[in-house]
Amino acid sequence: MTPLRVLALSGSLRSGSHNTELLRAAAAAAPAGIELELYEGVKQIPPYDADDDGGADRQPEAVRRLRAALARADAVLVATPEYNSSLPGVLKNALDWVSRPLALSPVRNKPAAVLSSSTGGFGGVWAAAETRKVLGALGARVLEDTVAVPQARERLAGGVDDELAEQLRVVVEALAAEVREREAAAAA
């Protein structure tokens, strides 16, 4: 049976990112039959400029790679930190590129979920809400299922514990259930 593919996008670029760690932990916690691919090319995506946007198949190479990875995926899992009460520019920029043109967005109708973490007390919930809003605008089937990790420095000091891994597994399972429902509807 073909594994169900989830593309994992981190809104944080730094190597020790808590959010990237959440995605790696989600990959490890995913049940058999679900593969999470951590997308590594967000940093290479240039700032959006309509002058460089020649259409879905004529965008810069780094954007086309992301488009292709999203097109291959059955679902999308984003983990985002919170910058100034919202999602980071690099993440928004990547999503803006793949939203053009909107009717050809590779996340269109794809199940998507958003995780967040922050070193503060709220776990990036506003950034997650904004990211959900943006994914909805791109046409994704956005789930409310989420995990928000506050005080991430302390909480993740010893890595992702079993309780958190279980919460991540639940979100991945929810994505998978939505993918299966979509496939069943398409086959009907």
Partner 1 sequence: MTTTQQQTTALPTGTWELDGVHSSIGFAVRHSGVMTFRGTFGDYDARIADGRLEGRAQVASVQVDDENLAAHLQSPDFFDAERHPEIRFSGRETRLDGDRITIAGELTVKGETRPVELVGVATGPVVDGYGKNRLGLDLEARIDRNDFGVSWNAELPTGDRMLDDEVVLTANLALVEA
> Which chain residues interact with partner 1 by CB under 8 A?
101-103, 105, 108-109, 136-142, 182, 185
Nearest residue (CB) to partner 1, 1 versus 103: 103
Q: How far is the CB of 141 from partner 1 (least distance, A)?
A: 5
Query: b vs e for 132-143, b when ≥16 Cβ sit within 10 Å of the residue's Cβ?
Result: bebbeebbbbbb
Nearest residue (CB) to partner 1, 25 versus 95: 95
Q: How far is the CB of 186 from partner 1 (least distance, A)?
A: 8
Nearest residue (CB) to partner 1, 56 versus 62: 56
Nearest residue (CB) to partner 1, 81 versus 106: 106
Q: How far is the CB of 102 from partner 1 (least distance, A)?
A: 4
Nearest residue (CB) to partner 1, 98 versus 160: 98
Q: How far is the CB of 3 from partner 1 (least distance, A)?
A: 23
User: For every residue of the chain, which 3-state class applies, written as one string?
Assistant: CCCEEEEEEECCCCCCCHHHHHHHHHHHHCCCCEEEEECCCHHHCCCCCHHHCCCCCCCCHHHHHHHHHHHHCCEEEEEECCECCECCHHHHHHHHHHCCCHHHCCCCCCEEEEEEECCCCCCCHHHHHHHHHHHHHCCCEECCCCCEECCHHHHCCCCCCHHHHHHHHHHHHHHHHHHHHHHHHHHC
Taking alpha carbons only, the member of 134, 126, 54 closest to residue 91 is: 134
Q: How far is the CB of 139 from partner 1 (least distance, A)?
A: 4
Nearest residue (CB) to partner 1, 101 versus 121: 101
